[in-house]
Structure 1
Amino acid sequence: MLIEAPGFDPLFEKKRAHTFHKSNERVEHIFKNLCKHGHVHIQDTKTAALLCNGSLYSVVMEWLQQNRTQPLTEYAYPIIIFNLNAFQLKYVEEMVQTYITETISDIDTFFHFNKWV
Structure 2
Amino acid sequence: MTIYVDNKVTSVIDLRFDESFWTRGEYPSFYENNTVPEKVDNPWYKSGANSAPFDQSFYLILNVAVGGTNGFFPDNVGDKPWLDSSTTAMSDFWAAKDRWYATWPTDLTKRGMAVRSVKMWQRC
TM tier, shorter chain? under 0.3
Q: So what's the TM-score if we normalise by structure 1?
A: 0.27
Bigger share in helix: 1
**With CA pairs under 8 Å and 6+ residues apart, which has the higher RCO, 1 or 2?**
1
Bigger share in strand: 2
Q: So what's the TM-score if we normalise by structure 2?
A: 0.26
